[in-house]
């Protein structure tokens, strides 16, 4: 319920106070993502990209596509974001998307880059990384 109040306030700030268009669309995309309305969030993030090329917007779009199961689109945006922000959590999300699209070599390369940086991962992403490593090992055994 509060999210709808936030959306109303955001629209009011945009119309009456002249909130910058970029800020409006990014914030609205964030609120819509919280509601799991990923298609609408993507639409707002893409509008924000007309005003800025902030890599965090590409990362948000990549996340939305990932949650929708559109991994090829997810990879595209995660690559753009990772190119500009070389952070371990971004590398992990890109690796997962690469794995889901079947690009196992690129996934392995990203996992190797994460070695030694596990302590920099956010919250439970260490467990996610270990699960991805296990899946890669299983896949390697099947393909061998």
Residue with tokens 């707002």: 44
Q: What pLDDT shows up at residue 144? A: 60
Tell me which H or E stretch contains 90: helix 88-101
CA distances from 28 to 17, 37, 39, 51, 99 (A): 16, 11, 12, 15, 30
Q: What pLDDT shows up at residue 132? A: 94
* 0.85 exceeded by pTM: yes
Q: What percent of the chain has pLDDT over 90?
A: 71
Residue 1 has pLDDT above 70, yes or no: no
Residues 100-132 pLDDT 10s: 999 999 999 999 999 988 889 988 898 999 999
Q: What percent of the chain has pLDDT over 70?
A: 98
Do the beta carbons of residue 3 and residue 35 sit within 8 Å? Answer: yes
Domain ranges (residues) in the chain? 1-52, 69-144
Do the beta carbons of residue 61 and residue 78 sit within 8 Å? Answer: no
Which range among 17-26, 95-104, 111-120 has the greatest average pLDDT? 95-104
């Amino acid at each position: 319920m509060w999210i709808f109040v936030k959306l109303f306030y955001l629209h009011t700030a945009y119309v009456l106070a002249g909130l910058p268009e970029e800020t409006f669309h990014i914030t609205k995309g964030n609120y819509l993502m919280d509601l799991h309305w990923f298609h609408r969030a993507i639409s707002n993030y893409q509008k924000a990209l007309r005003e800025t090329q902030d890599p965090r917007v590409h990362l948000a779009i990549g996340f939305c596509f990932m949650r929708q199961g559109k991994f090829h689109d997810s990879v595209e945006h995660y690559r753009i974001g990772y190119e500009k922000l070389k952070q371990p959590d971004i590398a992990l999300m890109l690796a997962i998307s690469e794995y889901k699209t079947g690009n196992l070599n690129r996934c392995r390369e990203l996992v190797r880059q994460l070695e030694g940086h596990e302590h920099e991962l956010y919250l439970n992403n260490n467990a996610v990384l270990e699960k991805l490593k296990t899946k890669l090992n299983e896949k390697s055994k099947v393909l061998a």
